[in-house]
């Protein structure tokens, strides 16, 4: 793609999310979502093969439907409260419709079906933008309307998302689909605590973005999109096998690493609000997630995965220079002692 | 009839939307869009917005739809789909028509209609001339406000349109 046009389109994606996050008028928020959607389509379609075109079409259809539902909720809110400012959504019908629209944009169950298919059909860099940057805008709106969200609907969607994200990722060997299911599960964790303490949602989003960024960059660095291809990294750069191990365990939420911080805080917040069964279920279902991360680490760093002899040498392409990879890796694994700094997110 | 003109126009509006969402060939979709544009203009005019209604006719129908019609005419196929040529298209059209008819009967018969939100019968659509807002017409003031207080909206929408064109060119360029 022409670099000037690519830069313009990328800046429009950023502008769209910024407009969503900083507007106080519902119409501007909708405009921001539409601008974001419009501009990310050519980014998803960077290579012109039928796979990417199908993936971007699916993405466009689901997100456009979600924008339409959002517009309907905005208009119902306008009818019942007579004003366009972003505060609580005063009408329960509008609140439910808006929550479903934002859940469709995030990829929560039962609207999660597009996430693995779209993520699989596009290149690794586009998938990175899809799973990290695109989650910021809907999550910021959910944060702003959190006092008026129907608790039952949101918690049902959250728990089902964690279940689907864990269970659906079990049979996958394609790395992009694994990351997609991981995204669904993390979105479930984030929205579970939204009504109780929205600051923890933001914390979880921050740490999730860091870890997903790290994982995707490690995949881009070794140009691998399948488990088999990833398992050959011991051949190319043995150091990245250890880094993949640490980051994956952090994503699974194991204690001394920073991925444990959001899960710990969320479970603590939920138990403070006297729900015991819910966080227990969520923690148990996060084990499913941990299982397929561990399977990846097993094949990548802990064993030399069996393959035929002529495949053991990986083709040495010119090493991509990935900026910020070392700091990202450090941040996504060693942030746990900084938990008391959580108060700055308020 | 004139009291309920907005209601009638909005029924025609919905029927023409059903007409093009049942996906006949784009030319017939454009035909129905002309009807829906004209009827929409009528609805806006009934609320006092003569300037905006005329702008719909001029810019939307006379500019954008004409260009759309020409491009579709260039890209058309030998036997385009009409509403009655394909069972699926006709089925969807009839289904939409049926739902609209049922809704209209419900509105005409009853006092309150509460589908997603409540409105009280046909009376809600009748226009009452509620007082004068002085010498100025409200909607021209609205357009003026768009360009003064709403400069940011104009910038954002203008940028989206430009990026829309760039995106369409990128997507259809292919390899």
pLDDT at B131: 55
Question: How does pLDDT run across A71-113, given as a tens digit for each residue?
Answer: 999 998 988 888 888 878 888 889 999 999 999 999 998 999 9
Give A199 to chain B, closest Cα distance, Å.
Answer: 30
Give A110 to chain B, closest Cα distance, Å.
Answer: 22
Question: How does pLDDT run across A141-158, given as a tens digit for each residue?
Answer: 999 999 999 899 999 999
CB atoms within 10 A of CB A124: 18
Distance, CA of A106 to CA of A22 (rounded, Å): 19
Check A35 against B117: CB less than 8 A apart: no
Q: Which range, A174-188, B51-65, B135-149, has the best average confidence (pLDDT)?
A: A174-188
Residue B66 touches partner A, C-beta closer than 8 Å: no
Check B163 against A9: CB less than 8 A apart: yes
Mutate to test the interface with B, among A8, A53, A81 (most CBs of B within 10 A): A8
pLDDT at A309: 67
Average pLDDT of every residue of chain B: 83
Check A76 against B117: CB less than 8 A apart: yes
Distance, CA of B15 to CA of B98 (rounded, Å): 10
Question: How does pLDDT run across A267-306, given as a tens digit for each residue?
Answer: 999 999 988 999 999 999 999 999 999 999 998 888 877 7
Give the CA count within 13 Å in the CB-facing half-sphere of B85: 8
pLDDT at A139 exceeding the cut of 90: yes
Average pLDDT over residues A35-55: 92
pLDDT at B134: 62
pLDDT at B144: 77
Please, are residues B25 and B77 in contact by the beta-carbon 8 Å criterion? yes
Average pLDDT over residues A233-262: 88
Please, are residues A118 and A130 in contact by the beta-carbon 8 Å criterion? yes
Size of interface A-B (CB pairs under 8 A): 46
**A91-122 as b/e: b if 16+ CB within 10 A:** beebbbbbbbbbbbbbbbbebbebbbebbbbb
pLDDT at A184 exceeding the cut of 60: yes
**Alpha helices (H) in A107-221, listed in sequence order:** 114-121, 124-144, 151-168, 175-192, 198-221
What is the chain A residue with the closest CA to B158?
A: A35
Give A190 to chain B, closest Cα distance, Å.
Answer: 30
Please, are residues A118 and A177 in contact by the beta-carbon 8 Å criterion? no
Check B174 against A48: CB less than 8 A apart: yes
pLDDT at B129: 57
Find, among A205, A81, A83, the residue nearest to A141 by Cα: A205
Residue B159 touches partner A, C-beta closer than 8 Å: yes
Residue of B157, B164, B166 with shortest CB distance to A31: B157
pLDDT at A43 exceeding the cut of 70: yes
In the structure, what pLDDT confidence band is assigned to residue B121 with cuts at 50, 70 and 90?
low
The A-side interface with B (CB below 8 A) comprises 1, 5, 8-9, 12, 15, 19, 28, 31, 34-35, 38-39, 41-42, 45, 48, 76, 79-80, 93
Question: How does pLDDT run across B66-76, given as a tens digit for each residue?
Answer: 999 999 999 88
Average pLDDT of every residue of chain A: 89
pLDDT at B160: 94
Spell out the domain ranges in chain A: 3-344
In the structure, what pLDDT confidence band is assigned to residue B49 with cuts at 50, 70 and 90?
confident
**pTM for the whole thing?**
0.88
Average pLDDT over residues A237-251: 89
User: Quick one: A141 exposed, middle or buried, by C-beta within 10 A (0-12, 13-18, 19+)?
Assistant: buried
What is the chain B residue with the closest CA to A36?
A: B160
pLDDT at B37: 94
pLDDT at A234 exceeding the cut of 80: yes
ipTM of the complex: 0.83
pLDDT at A289: 92
Residue of A1, A8, A38 with shortest CB distance to B160: A38
pLDDT at B143 exceeding the cut of 60: yes
Using a CB-CB distance cutoff of 8 angstroms, which residues of chain B are in contact with residue A24? Answer: none
Average pLDDT over residues A244-252: 91
Residue listed under structure tokens 């729900």: A275
């Amino acid at each position: 793609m022409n670099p000037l046009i690519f830069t313009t389109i990328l800046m429009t994606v950023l502008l769209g999310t910024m407009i969503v996050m900083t507007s106080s008028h519902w119409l501007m928020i909708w405009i921001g979502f539409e601008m974001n959607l419009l501009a990310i389509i050519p980014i998803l379609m960077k290579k012109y093969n039928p796979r990417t075109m199908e993936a971007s079409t699916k993405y466009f259809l689901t997100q456009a439907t979600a924008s339409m539902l959002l517009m309907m909720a905005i208009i119902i809110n306008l009818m019942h409260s007579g004003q366009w400012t972003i505060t609580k959504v005063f009408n329960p019908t509008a609140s439910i419709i808006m929550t479903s629209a934002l859940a469709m944009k995030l990829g929560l169950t039962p609207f999660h079906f597009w996430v693995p298919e779209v993520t699989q059909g596009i290149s690794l860099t586009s998938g990175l933008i899809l799973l990290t940057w695109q989650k910021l805008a809907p999550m910021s709106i959910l944060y702003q309307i959190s006092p008026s969200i129907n608790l039952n609907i949101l918690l049902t969607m959250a728990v089902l998302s964690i279940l689907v994200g864990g269970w659906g990722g079990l049979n996958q060997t394609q790395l992009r689909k694994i990351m997609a299911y991981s995204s669904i599960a993390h979105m479930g964790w984030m929205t579970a605590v939204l009504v109780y303490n929205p600051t923890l949602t933001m914390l979880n989003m921050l740490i999730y973005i860091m870890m997903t960024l790290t994982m995707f960059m490690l995949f881009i660095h070794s140009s691998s999109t399948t488990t088999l291809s990833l398992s050959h990294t011991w051949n190319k750069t043995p150091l990245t096998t250890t880094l993949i191990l640490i980051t994956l365990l952090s994503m699974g939420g194991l204690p001394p690493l920073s991925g444990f911080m959001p899960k710990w805080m969320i479970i603590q917040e939920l138990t403070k609000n006297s729900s015991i069964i819910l966080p227990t279920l969520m923690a148990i279902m996060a084990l499913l997630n941990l299982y397929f991360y561990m399977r990846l680490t097993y094949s990548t760093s802990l064993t030399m995965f069996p393959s035929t002899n002529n495949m053991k040498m990986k083709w040495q392409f010119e090493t991509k220079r990935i900026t910020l990879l070392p700091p990202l890796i450090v941040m996504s694994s060693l942030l746990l002692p900084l938990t008391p700094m959580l108060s700055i997110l308020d | 009839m004139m009291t309920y003109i907005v209601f009638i126009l909005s029924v025609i509006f919905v029927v023409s939307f059903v007409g093009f969402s049942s996906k006949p060939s784009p030319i017939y979709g454009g035909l129905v869009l002309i009807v829906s544009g004209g009827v929409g203009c009528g609805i806006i005019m009934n609320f006092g917005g003569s300037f905006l209604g005329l702008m719909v006719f001029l810019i939307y129908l006379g500019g954008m739809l004409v260009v759309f019609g020409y491009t579709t005419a260039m890209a058309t196929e030998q036997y385009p789909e009409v509403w009655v040529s394909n069972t699926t298209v006709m089925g969807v059209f009839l289904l939409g028509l049926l739902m609209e008819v049922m809704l209209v009967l419900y509105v005409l018969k009853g006092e309150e209609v509460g589908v997603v939100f409540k409105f009280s019968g046909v009376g809600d659509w009748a226009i009452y001339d509620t007082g004068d807002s002085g010498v100025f017409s409200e909607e021209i003031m609205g357009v003026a406000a768009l360009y003064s207080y709403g400069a940011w909206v104009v910038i954002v929408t203008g940028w989206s349109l430009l990026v829309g064109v760039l995106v369409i060119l990128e997507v259809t360029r292919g390899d």
